[in-house]
Amino acid sequence: MPAGITEDMVSALARDRSGLVHASTADRVTELLRTHIMEGLFPPGTRLSEEAIGQALGVSRNTLREAFRLLCHERLAVHEMNRGIFVPVLTSADVADIYKLRRLIEGGAARLAGGASMTSRLAVRATVESGEDAAAAGRWFEVRTADLRFHQAVAALAGSPRTDELMRRALAELRLIFHVMADPEQFHAPYLERNRTIADLIVRGDGQRAEADLRSYLADAERQILAVYQIPAPGTEP
Amino acid sequence: MPAGITEDMVSALARDRSGLVHASTADRVTELLRTHIMEGLFPPGTRLSEEAIGQALGVSRNTLREAFRLLCHERLAVHEMNRGIFVPVLTSADVADIYKLRRLIEGGAARLAGGASMTSRLAVRATVESGEDAAAAGRWFEVRTADLRFHQAVAALAGSPRTDELMRRALAELRLIFHVMADPEQFHAPYLERNRTIADLIVRGDGQRAEADLRSYLADAERQILAVYQIPAPGTEP
DNA sequence: ATTACAGGATTGGTGAACAATCCAGCAATA
DNA sequence: TATTGCTGGATTGTTCACCAATCCTGTAAT
């Protein structure tokens, strides 16, 4: 019978560490509201009443306020003093800003394709394939999800947890814009092929071309959104 | 006597909008703790007692918890369930990650120098000059501040509010690392000249070279930090 | 049509309470 | 001596009740 715990066993357990953190109520409420806002349950502009939501979820106002603060911090809600929490109404300027950020991050990450691990490169292609499958089956909302995951996977080529997190937030904001737009088929169908092209370039390790393709891709998408999504910033054009 | 408010007056007022939002107590507490953590008042690993800080600042525990949640969200504090809030102890992996992110953002932004407004380009040079002045006067902590502002200004070349914010947070984290390191003179002095070079390239609009210089700059800085800052991730090397 | 003014509803913030959890120290045991 | 079991105290997690400040709506007055 062996004497004790070995070095290996310790490090094996250390890897499980993240699996046993139980989240606080505020965190779970945040997560819940986050998905609801992203899925479009609350249309932009809706006020999120403390009383109503607190009662619906069975949590106290104080706990709920912690959750609201977090949502505001990641721009999935906006706080107006003494008025309450609202689902944000993103402006055209926001769209442009998000795309600027995406070009910076995704473009830069794609360029690193050659140096990225093969695992993460194949992960990009996997998202493309799941998008193609969903399109073949006509499930266009899944296509949208796959598309967002594609871009997430591209950003992940940078191999930086902070970048991943940042990208997740940017794409969450983008969802707010998407689901007040036309149906996903019309918007996403043309990009399936371009995703495939970029994924192939990435797997091949041609970061240079992948970046160029991605940049023009993002520029096109931005133009297309701005053509139909015209919401002015508050204070300009009342 | 003119009849009423004109279009111009409205838009003039609209610009003042941001000046009259009064922050909530939680926000002000967050701001206060943020600067204190960044300035190094609480050394990494310190537990931030709800009772003690709440009493010191004269705010209730509930309000304080909102502030703590925000700090955790921007990684200036870490939350351990049922144990409390701690000033984070950044690991070598964190340093590497932050620099990966910086290369992505700052590198990409510097490349856009040619397309950026002259105002924002001159702003970069201004930070370099204030750094040089501080160095001449031997005020090395101001040199550090100027250096961080330099990088902030570089990122601002992207012309994206979200990028600015992101950069602000990344540099705030970096401060946590800086002030457990050696004195600022030794670290920052060699970079004064390099900042100047990069700033000149940016003002001239040569994004290509500015990016290249900045990337090798950041790589060197990362190496230099990692050479003396060796804190393993929890679970590896106890 | 604009202003003034109530009334009610909602948020901002506090303090107290209680359960759950963690931690340090001591005792018991092998 | 080293490990395990237990216990009391301290801190956090969460709720509740309360009050002041602010905002919104509708109505009355000009």
Q: Identify the contact set of chain B against chain A, taking CB-CB distances under 8 A.
A: 10-11, 14-15, 17, 21-24, 26, 62, 65-66, 69-70, 73-74, 81, 97-98, 100-101, 103-105, 107-109, 158-163, 166, 170, 234-236, 238
Q: Which chain A residue has its CA at the smallest distance from B97's CA?
A: A160
Chain A hits for B78, CB-CB cut-off 8 Å, are none
B183: confidence class by pLDDT, cuts 50, 70, 90: confident
Q: What is the pLDDT of residue A18?
A: 65
Q: What is the pLDDT of residue B211?
A: 98
Please check whether strand D approaches the CB of A81 to within 7 Å: yes
CA of A83 to C1' of C11 (A): 7
Distance from CA of A238 to the nearest CA of B (A): 10
A179: confidence class by pLDDT, cuts 50, 70, 90: confident
B1: confidence class by pLDDT, cuts 50, 70, 90: very low
What is d(CA B31, CA B70) in angstroms, rounded to the nearest whole number? 10
Q: What is the pLDDT of residue B12?
A: 65
Residue-wise DSSP of chain B = ---S--HHHHHHHHHHGGGGPPPPHHHHHHHHHHHHHHHTSS-TT-EE-HHHHHHHHT--HHHHHHHHHHHHHTTSSEEETTTEEE-----HHHHHHHHHHHHHHHHHHHHGGGGS-HHHHHHHHHHHHHHHHHHHTT-HHHHHHHHHHHHHHHHGGG--HHHHHHHHHHHHHHHHHHTTSS-HHHHHHHHHHHHHHHHHHHHHT-HHHHHHHHHHHHHHHHHHHHHH---PPTTS--
pLDDT at residue A92 tops 50? yes
A2-16 per-position pLDDT tens digit: 456 676 766 766 776
Please check whether strand C approaches the CB of B24 to within 7 Å: yes
SS3 A78: strand
Cα dihedral value B215, B217, B221, B227, nearest 10? 90
Q: Return the percentage of chain B with pLDDT > 90, whole number.
A: 81
Chain A hits for B66, CB-CB cut-off 8 Å, are 65-66, 69
Looking at every residue in chain B, the average pLDDT score rounds to 92
Q: Give me the amino acid identity at B160.
A: S
What is d(CA B202, CA B124) in angstroms, rounded to the nearest whole number? 8
B28-69 per-position pLDDT tens digit: 999 999 999 999 999 999 999 999 999 999 999 999 999 999
CA of A47 to C1' of D24 (A): 14
Chain B hits for A103, CB-CB cut-off 8 Å, are 108
Q: What is the pLDDT of residue A185?
A: 84
CA of A83 to C1' of D24 (A): 10
Q: Report, as an integer, the average pLDDT of A183-187.
A: 84
Judged by average pLDDT, the poorest of A116-125, A189-198, B21-30, B207-216 is: B21-30
pLDDT at residue A201 tops 80? yes
B66 nearest nucleotide via C1' and CA: C13
pLDDT at residue A43 tops 90? yes
Q: Report, as an integer, the average pLDDT of B4-19.
A: 65
pLDDT at residue A116 tops 70? yes
Residue A68 burial class via C-beta count within 10 angstroms: exposed 0-12, middle 13-18, buried 19 and up: buried
A118-143 per-position pLDDT tens digit: 999 999 999 999 999 999 999 999 99
Distance from CA of B223 to the nearest CA of A (A): 17
B125-177 per-position pLDDT tens digit: 999 999 999 999 999 999 999 999 999 999 999 999 999 999 999 999 999 99
